Structure 1
Amino acid sequence: VLSCLMEHLYTSAMVPDCQKQLLELQYFVSRDFRLDPRLYKMCNNDAVTLCHAPDDWANADAGVSEEDDSLGPGVIFACLHRYLHPSPGEQKLSRQCSAEVHRVLRQRADNVRLNPHIEAMCRVALGEFCSENVNSGEEMDCLQQNYEKLDGKCKALIQNFTTEESEDIKLDRLLMRACEPMLNRFCK
């Protein structure tokens, strides 16, 4: 149910109170995807074989110690994300896992604050270019508009996100919101 609601987070049918609660929940789900059973179920084999996750990596009792978070859920998700577009000769994610990783990326892309990696790598740029006259939820658009001024890892992350956005129209939140009536009418 949570996944279904998150897929409709920025549609015109979503009520503000529900949207606010979903964003608060998504903050935790995006950091610990053991709370996302669809992703775990569809990506379990990929996580174990490609990312060297333990067989019971989604078991809360099998969590990683605070001193060593090298195989924590965020790291495993980052690894799965890397295998969406592997280097030549590397194995690719299974089709069903790839679909789930894209679904989670769409959900996380709705608000850059819910993506801790982009937020961490782009904190300086967010403060420099996107702290004034930018509404909450429009930070990614701001970073994309200031792409040429970005540097280092932030620029690379925004480039990767923009590439993925061009491959999956649902990642472009503003386009989806503006065109929703037309999509429902013409593109079922």
Structure 2
Amino acid sequence: CRKEVHRRQKVVVSNALLDAPLIRACQSEMREHQCVTNPQDSDKQLSLINLLLCLEDRIKKGNQIKDECRREMLAHRRMLMSDYAVSPEITSKCKNEMIQHCHTLYRQGASGTIDQRGGRMIHCLFNAARRESNFSRECLFNIKSLVRAVDPGSDIRADPLLETACRSVIDTLCAKIKPGDSNIIMCLLDNIKNTRMTEDCEDRLMEVAYFMARDWRLTPKLIRTCQKNLIDLCKLPESWSMNNNMTDVQLGQYLGCLYQKKQQLSDNCRIELKRIMSIRTKAIGLMPEVEDNCMADLALCKNPEIKGEVRELQMT
């Protein structure tokens, strides 16, 4: 039974059009927002990741998505994060990384052990992408696509391992935020150094935050409040998309532009930008410009807290 479910999941990930409940729930949104197959594709397939990215585009640009469709999207995001083996791009493009950096999990096979179904292989790859300089571009490209499609920053429930690891912290420090709210993950990041933060939650959180810190599109409230400013002041094309593979430099330039023009921003955008910048000061791993360029110098710092962070980031 498990093998058949696994086989079915792999089929759906390759071609979401074969998932009747998903298509039934989201058909009006797919039609309205042209989430269709590529007309040049003779196979007429629509990958699950591309469908989720298309629908997520609509949400981030202020369009309405029915609750039924949102529920199906969440279920499929959880599926993608729960078992790496259902994603053909991950299994093929990240094989070397799994063997090299996640060998214990990889040796267990791709049939779906408890650890793999819980998302540990995906998070292991997240961690390796963050720490390993020899992480391949092909694997990183597909990992980034997966993160954008799953978008755990918009709803932590999309990442079962992260949600489980942080449940006690959420119940303690973020209890007033309703389930599914994008503010939950921001609350966790804001409390990254709180004494009630657990080690397991912090580790899983920083693995996801590595990608969020490098792509402002993964910070929902920033997009909602600053999208007009990004277009008007920073020349962000109105056709921007979650499916566009912008470089880290390009993404950083837009955020830098907002900061440089902070006096011209709308009040809501300025408040949210200030909050994001404040959260980034909580840990070196939340500051891409520092983490990517200054690790060797930071390793010389005598401050025990900084040395501890650097040591954690340098661990293999």
Q: Same fold (TM over 0.5)?
A: yes
Instruction: Give, in whole Å, the separation in 1 of the partners of 2:208 and 2:91.
Output: 24
State the Cα distance separating 1:30 from its structure 2 match.
2.1
The answer (yes or no) to whether the contact 2:144–2:211 under 8 Å persists in 1 is no
Q: 1:40 matched to which residue of 2?
A: 87
- Is 1:112–2:156 an aligned residue pair? yes
Which shows bigger deviation, 76-85 or 148-157? Answer: 76-85
The answer (yes or no) to whether the contact 1:108–1:114 under 8 Å persists in 2 is yes
Instruction: Give, in whole Å, the separation in 2 of the partners of 1:72 and 1:12.
Output: 33
Q: 1:60 matched to which residue of 2?
A: none
Q: Which one scores higher on RCO, CA 8 angstroms, separation ≥ 6?
A: 1
Q: 1:187 matched to which residue of 2?
A: 236
* CA 73–26 in structure 1, closer or farther in 2 if over 3 Å, else same: farther
The answer (yes or no) to whether the contact 2:156–2:162 under 8 Å persists in 1 is yes
Instruction: Give, in whole Å, the separation in 2 of the partners of 1:148 and 1:31.
Output: 27
Q: 1:153 matched to which residue of 2?
A: 200
The answer (yes or no) to whether the contact 1:81–1:101 under 8 Å persists in 2 is no
Structure label with greater radius of gyration: 2
Q: 2:123 matched to which residue of 1?
A: 78
- Is 1:128–2:172 an aligned residue pair? yes
Q: 2:282 matched to which residue of 1?
A: none
Tell me, what secondary structure is at the counterpart of 2:130? Answer: coil
Provide the aligned C-alpha RMSD in A: 3.1
Q: 2:142 matched to which residue of 1?
A: 97
Q: What are the superposed Cα offsets for residues 35-58 of structure 1, whole Å, 9 maximum, x if unpaired?
A: xxxx9353341243332569xx6x
Q: 2:60 matched to which residue of 1?
A: 10
Alignment TM-score, normalising by the size of structure 1: 0.71
Instruction: Give, in whole Å, the separation in 1 of the partners of 2:118 and 2:200.
Output: 21
- Which residue, out of 166, 174, 184, partners 1:139? 184
Whichever residue aligns with residue 148 of structure 1, its letter is: K
State the Cα distance separating 1:87 from its structure 2 match.
2.5
* CA 99–87 in structure 1, closer or farther in 2 if over 3 Å, else same: closer
Q: 2:214 matched to which residue of 1?
A: 167
Q: What are the superposed Cα offsets for residues 82-138 of structure 1, whole Å, 9 maximum, x if unpaired?
A: 3422434x4435154244234235x23211122212211111111111112x24412
The answer (yes or no) to whether the contact 1:33–1:73 under 8 Å persists in 2 is no
Whichever residue aligns with residue 187 of structure 1, its letter is: L
Whichever residue aligns with residue 160 of structure 2, its letter is: P
State the Cα distance separating 1:172 from its structure 2 match.
1.4
Gaps of 5+ in 2: 1-34, 36-50, 100-105, 238-316
Whichever residue aligns with residue 155 of structure 2, its letter is: N
* CA 184–28 in structure 1, closer or farther in 2 if over 3 Å, else same: same
Count of matched residue pairs: 170
Instruction: Give, in whole Å, the separation in 1 of the partners of 2:59 and 2:154.
Output: 8
State the Cα distance separating 1:162 from its structure 2 match.
3.4
Gaps of 5+ in 1: 58-62
